[in-house]
Amino acid sequence: MASTSSVAFITGGASGMGLALVERLVAEGWNVTVFDFNNAAGEQVQKRLGGQVLFLRGNVINYDDQAQAFVKTWEKWGRLDLVWGNAGIGDRIEFCSPMPEGPNGAPPKPDTLVVDICLYGVIWTGYLALHFFRKNPSKAGKLVFTSSLAGVYPAAPVPLYGAAKHGVIGLVRSMAKRLQEMGEPITVNCVCPGLVATPLVSQKLVEVMPKDMTTPTETVVRAILQFAADASITGQAAECSGTEIHYRPVLPYSNSAAEYMVEGKYANLVDKDEMMQDSAEKGKLLDAMVSDRNGTVAT
């Protein structure tokens, strides 16, 4: 039997912003799945908050881990109302700095874990959320991702993080528009926080930062609760800076050619099935590019 209480699924929910929302939702009577890599922190959250919390340890960059967690959430509560793809890290290398040359004459492969977690992990979360929202009798759901100010503005110190977070905003706006076109009652939005004092942020930096230049977790929670409460809000990137929330608008089209292409106004000029078949055939030429993380190529 489905839960009579609303159900949320939150990645990175054992600490920081994720934990702040978990605590708020539990206080309001929700059931919440906390999906996190930190086993000790997750178990502590579940013990402290009781039966309304299901902690599932997993790795967001592992699709199967996420899929299993969504399945277990559905098996336990039989519904899903809100999903927040929130887990993230920052750059672990100085991407633009000179790198030592290896024996093969090239620098070593860069560490791109930040992209795996902050973009690919979010893609897996969103993909799975759509499937389980559609299992609800209402077919509805609220999907939220974590982007960043680095997804809105250039972030020179963290270019890979910035690339991933820009990608999140693009994913949100494109998914929201497509779901509207399909007539589905699923909303997709993201929060774009400034510096929030979470365990992933240097404590030394937090101590020296002017307090009015940081963003309280409550600002982020407030933005997500707005998304959860209003089904008319979709495709929005909510900049959470200090105590303020600003919805960042989509850029206007530069000209009619740009609008024509992005809006797909050419679609009636060709047979859709033929175009899809053509794309599939061309795609087969790329099968040999399937590669593992070590860079070996299948032939």
Tell me the mean pLDDT per 10 residues along the chain, length 299: 93 96 98 97 97 97 98 98 96 92 94 96 99 98 98 95 98 98 98 86 78 90 98 98 96 95 87 85 78 53
Q: What is the pLDDT of residue 286?
A: 81
The rounded radius of gyration (Å) of the Cα atoms in the chain is 21
293 in a domain, yes or no? Answer: yes
Total count of domains within the chain: 2
The reply to whether 197 and 274 lie within a common domain is no
Closest CA to 66 of 23, 119, 126: 126
| Residue for token pair 């086993």 | 39
Distances, alpha carbon 119 to alpha carbons 24, 53, 90, 236, in Å: 26, 26, 12, 17
2 in a domain, yes or no? Answer: no
The reply to whether 196 and 271 lie within a common domain is no
The reply to whether 173 and 285 lie within a common domain is no
The reply to whether 293 and 153 lie within a common domain is no
222-251: string of b/e by CB count within 10 Å (b at 16+)?
bbbebbbeeeebbbbbbbbbeeebeebeee
The reply to whether 280 and 207 lie within a common domain is no
Q: Output 242-246 pairs: Cβ under 8 A, ≥24 positions apart.
A: 242/194, 242/212, 242/213, 242/214, 242/215, 243/215, 243/216, 243/219, 244/219, 245/219
Which residues belong to the active site? 161, 165
The reply to whether 246 and 274 lie within a common domain is no
The reply to whether 265 and 215 lie within a common domain is no
The reply to whether 22 and 140 lie within a common domain is yes
- In whole angstroms, give the CA distance from residue 221 to residue 271: 45
Q: What is the pLDDT of residue 299?
A: 46
Q: What is the pLDDT of residue 201?
A: 75
Closest CA to 93 of 116, 112, 68: 112
The reply to whether 241 and 275 lie within a common domain is no
Q: What is the pLDDT of residue 48?
A: 97
The reply to whether 83 and 23 lie within a common domain is yes
Q: What is the pLDDT of residue 267?
A: 82
pLDDT digits (tens, 9 = 90+) for 2-15: 889 999 999 999 99
1 in a domain, yes or no? Answer: no
- In whole angstroms, give the CA distance from residue 273 to residue 278: 9
3-state helix, strand, coil split of the chain in percent (to 5) is 45, 15, 40
151: alpha, beta or left? (left if phi > 0; alpha if psi -120 to 50) = alpha
256 in a domain, yes or no? Answer: no
Q: What is the pLDDT of residue 291?
A: 57
- In whole angstroms, give the CA distance from residue 246 to residue 250: 13
Whether the Cβ atoms of residue 172 and residue 237 lie closer than 8 Å to each other: yes
255 in a domain, yes or no? Answer: no
- In whole angstroms, give the CA distance from residue 105 to residue 108: 9
The reply to whether 268 and 182 lie within a common domain is no
Q: What is the pLDDT of residue 276?
A: 84
284 in a domain, yes or no? Answer: yes
Residue range(s) defining the domain that contains residue 223: 7-250
292 in a domain, yes or no? Answer: yes
The reply to whether 291 and 162 lie within a common domain is no
Final residue in a domain of this structure, among 226, 250, 274: 250
Q: What is the pLDDT of residue 188?
A: 99
- CB neighbours of residue 6 within 10 Å: 18
**SS3 of residue 53 by DSSP:** strand
